[in-house]
Chain A
Amino acid sequence: MPMITRREFLRVAGVALATSRAGAGIPILNWAPARTLRLALLLPPADPSLASVASDWSAGAALALSETERAAQLFGQRISLSERRIDQNQKPEDVIARDHPSVIIGGASATECAALAQAAEAAGVLFLNLGSTDDALRRSDCRRHMFHVAASDAMIDSARRAASSANGPISIELWHPSLTRYGGAELNDRYADRFKRPMTSSAWAAWVAVKIAWETSLKARSVEPAALLSVLENDSTGFDGHKGTQLSFRAWDHQLRQPLYAVSNATGAGRVVAELPDVGRNNDQGMRELLDQFGDLAGSASCFARGAA
């Protein structure tokens, strides 16, 4: 049913009256006093097995920071990102106390995510999980302040089953450097041009997490974690991650709804053999409903389903 939507938000956010100049030469039309959205990227402890993940997170977040800084200037706002390594000498609590972020980003393992989520909740800030696929974090160990950009094991299992017709071994990825549609080519080009290497799933996760945090702040017209939380939990909130459909967080497990990609390494180079679900296909069902068939179904998960009821 056609309808007028988001009128009030767009009316308020769209107004641009002032004419002061600030930032990098971009005329600014403020809709609110200038605020700085502070983010902190928490890298895993130094470990050779996690070196490439940490490096890709750092690069993806840096690209998103550059882009969101410019976007923020359009609206008279600011964004900052600190990057800290978590280890025996530096706990998540220390970073939060020092950098005062509204959102922390990271989490390479279930253990690390649990620690980050606990620290975030204690400080009243938000945590975006980039790396852990552990289902328990979306079920028994879920926390209201924790949202998952990484796909869950349950989602990956669903995707693997959906791609079962593919020949040979496949991996299920959040992103692939061969993607071209919906701005995928441009994103891959921007990343490769700057970092001289292809954009991996880890890099995309960090890129989209920063973008989500910024757009959430823009929609909330606030940098306060409570206001951001309210927007993230709003059922009508959506984001563009260059995957061809709106991304959003499920109410029942705080898992990001997103298409996944089956990648075959049979030829050595890696090739996307399936998009799951197929965003380009015409569906009688909405894309959101299709995405919700991957992983834990609504009502099957634990804490948020009960909390929302």
Chain B
Amino acid sequence: MNRARRIRQLVVAITVVVLLAPCVLRAQSGSLLFVSNEIGRSLTIVNPATRSVVATIPLGERARGIRSSPDGKLVYVALSDDIPMRETAGDRIAVVDVATRKVIARFRAGSDPEQFAVSPSGRFLYTSNEDAGTASATDIRTGKVIATMVVGIEPEGVGVSPDGRWVYVTAETSNSVSVIDTRTNKVVANFLVDARPRAVAFSPDGTRAYVTAEIGGTLSIVDARKHEVLGSVELERGQAKPVGVVVSPDGRTVYVANGRGNTVSIVDAKSASVIATIPVGHRPWGIALSRDAKTLYTADGLSDQVSVIDVGARRVVGTIKVGARPWGVALVE
């Protein structure tokens, strides 16, 4: 073996190691739970297996909406500053590299970004701009806003259909949901839901969407092909303050974080009925479900903790102390 060949082999070997390192790191650490801390202005990274904090990343601004990329390599966090009504340098989406646990980019997504959704292709990010009454579409590859759409008043929750065709944006003051066709990036429909809609999640087959209404105390069930409300489920006699929502991988069960109701409701999608209510910490907003649908996580905002819920046992089996005023959770598996 001559010297040049050995060098080539060495280069290939080093390249392979470098390329695979993130995978190895992931395999070693397993799943990771990312928690945005609104008041703490940081991101807490939790190892769900040990229920321990493995890192805290300062972000410098209010951290709220949080989602992972479809391939699980990146986590996006919505940041906003304390200057209302206008976009400033503090209003950004931070991009966190899961492998290195570092912020690798910050890009614009309109003013005061709060919630957003990532397209299934991983290429586009759709953001609600609360004080501007708009939604923005950002091309993640270039980090540029490619479309701004007028939606309802005080837009908040954003969800994208599994096929990437539709984006739903809830609006808290107009009690409406705007439907964006991602082929044209235009609003093509609006429909009413109950008072103060906060979040939306699609079923995995894309036939249904579920919208929480914080003041209405309900979960609206939407025909996501016709963009039409089928009915609503009253949570805790209307006393719940539903915010975060997630659907099980089989589409049969919907989990709702009830905010200042301090509970999680488990809703059977088919019968549109509540089958269990689980007490958690104070003011759970963000909610995430493991891929095997066995474990739920809630960001308990006023308890500065994440609750870990055994779905089968329907009870909290652990809590994890995180930063100040946790807002959302994203699970990377």
Contacts and interface: CB of A to CB of B under 8 A. Distances in A.
Question: Is chain A's binding surface mostly helix, strand, loop or mixed?
Answer: mixed
A15 B237 contact: no
Interface stretch (B64-72, B92-100, B148-156, B286-294): B148-156
Interface stretch (A1-9, A113-121, A223-231): A1-9
Interface string B287-322: 000000000000000000000000000000000000
Contact of A25 (B150, B173, B217, B233): B150
Contacts of A2: 233-235, 267, 272-274
Given A67-B153, A190-B85, A29 B189 contact: yes
A13 interface: yes
Contacts of B190: 16, 29, 74-75
A13 B228 CA distance: 9
Given A5-B231, A27-B186, A13 B237 contact: no
Nearest to B239: A286
Contacts of A280: 260
A246 interface: yes
Q: Interface residues of B toward A: which range?
A: 35 or more
A29 to B, nearest CB: 5
A207 B255 CA distance: 35
A10 interface: yes
Contacts of A16: 179, 189-191, 227-228
Interface string A274-303: 000001101100110000000000000000
Contacts of B19: none
Given A186-B131, A283-B239, A14 B233 contact: no
Interface string B210-228: 0000111110101000111
B61 interface: no
A99 interface: no
Contact of A10 (B215, B232, B274): B232
A297 B6 CA distance: 91
A72 B238 CA distance: 27
A183 B173 contact: yes
Contact of A245 (B153, B176, B215, B234): B215
Contact of B131 (A70, A71, A190, A244): A190
Contact of B188 (A7, A29, A67): A29
A71 B152 contact: yes
B150 A71 contact: no
B278 interface: no
A240 B130 contact: no
B200 to A, nearest CB: 14
B84 interface: yes
B136 interface: no
Contact of B187 (A26, A186, A245, A246): A26
Contacts of B194: 6
Contact of B192 (A1, A24, A186, A218): A218
Contacts of B192: 10, 13-14, 75, 218
B174 interface: yes
B81 interface: no
Interface in A218-262: 218, 238-240, 244-246
A32 B215 CA distance: 26
A165 interface: no
Contacts of B164: none
Contacts of A215: 175
Contacts of A70: 133, 150, 152-153, 174
Q: Which 3 A-B pairs have CB atoms at the shortest separation, nearest pair first?
A: A71-B174, A14-B191, A16-B189
Given A27-B189, A67-B174, 9 more contacts: A5-B233, A15-B228, A70-B174, A71-B174, A71-B176, A183-B172, A190-B85, A190-B131, A244-B260
Interface of A: 1-7, 10-11, 13-16, 19, 24-27, 29, 67, 70-71, 74-75, 182-183, 185-186, 189-190, 193, 211, 215, 218, 238-240, 244-246, 279-280, 282-283, 286-287
